[in-house]
Amino acid sequence: MKAHTRETQATMTPEKSLQYLKEGNVRFQKNLKANRNLLEQVNDTSEGQFPFATILSCIDSRVSAELVFDQGLGDIFSVRIAGNFVNEDILGSMEFACKLAGTKLIVVLGHTSCGAVKGACDDAKLGNLTAMLDKIKPAVKTVVTPEDPNLRNSSNIEFVNDVAEKNVLLTIDRIKKESSVLAEMQNKGEIKIIGAMYDIHSGAVAFYE
């Protein structure tokens, strides 16, 4: 499989880009890989890059977007931060990726048993981590069940995963609200912004369409 070129990127639509990721995740789950020569892709991308998707995911070592979607060099922009939330710098990176570099799809990828989400659920305090977890706490507050305070912590994995899902959805809302560039592109059908959840037990990605 060759690296994407300006010509192949131009043929990609938001829907086709999503399908590429879905097919890649199926290959990953089946322990299959597309036939690609990474060293050849190094050479192919030395003069430029033409990715088709931008993926915001957690820094979790088990959730590498390139691996779980079976993508090669030059295929995706990968933005990683604990808890997969956005800030001004990440929004700027996404605007570059879509408006200037031509990607057709933004995926906010959360995952089950997320450590950053667990920290937000437990109101953890530690250096700069404290301020970072504050970005995830709106999702904690939005998940209203269970009401019992003793069940609203990291020991309740169902609650943690509910918060992780809500965090993905709130992040998408923030992207649309805080980036007029990306919101306009989506309204015109030039890009699609969707959420997804990676299951650390199965390797499967569920998309929120």
Average pLDDT over residues 67-80: 97
Torsion angle of alpha carbons 123, 125, 127, 132, nearest 10°?
Answer: 0
pLDDT tens column, 198-207: 999 999 999 9
Looking at residue 61, its pLDDT comes to: 97
Residue 19: is its pLDDT beyond 90? yes
Per DSSP (E only), the strands in the chain are: 53-57, 76-80, 105-111, 192-198, 205-208
Residue 2: band (very low, low, confident or very high) from pLDDT cuts 50, 70, 90: confident
Phi, psi of 97 (to 5 degrees): -60, -40
Q: Decide: pTM greater than 0.85.
A: yes
Distance CA 3, CA 50 (A): 8
Q: Assign 59 to helix, strand or coil.
A: coil
Residue 29: band (very low, low, confident or very high) from pLDDT cuts 50, 70, 90: very high
Instruction: Tell me the binding residues for Zn(2+).
Output: 58, 60, 111, 114
Residue 199, Cβ density class (10 Å: 0-12 exposed, 13-18 middle, ≥19 buried): middle
Domains of the chain: 6-118+172-208 (3.40.1050.10)
Residue 51: is its pLDDT beyond 90? yes
pLDDT tens column, 122-132: 999 999 999 99
Looking at residue 188, its pLDDT comes to: 97
Query: Which of 129, 37, 21 minimizes the C-alpha distance to 83?
Result: 129
Q: Assign 111 to helix, strand or coil.
A: strand
Strands 205-208 and 192-198: antiparallel
Average pLDDT over residues 175-180: 98
Residue 157: band (very low, low, confident or very high) from pLDDT cuts 50, 70, 90: very high
Phi, psi of 78 (to 5 degrees): -115, 115
Looking at residue 168, its pLDDT comes to: 98
Average pLDDT over residues 140-146: 97
Looking at residue 80, its pLDDT comes to: 98
Average pLDDT over residues 88-96: 98
Looking at residue 1, its pLDDT comes to: 81
Instruction: Tell me the binding residues.
Output: 58, 60, 111, 114
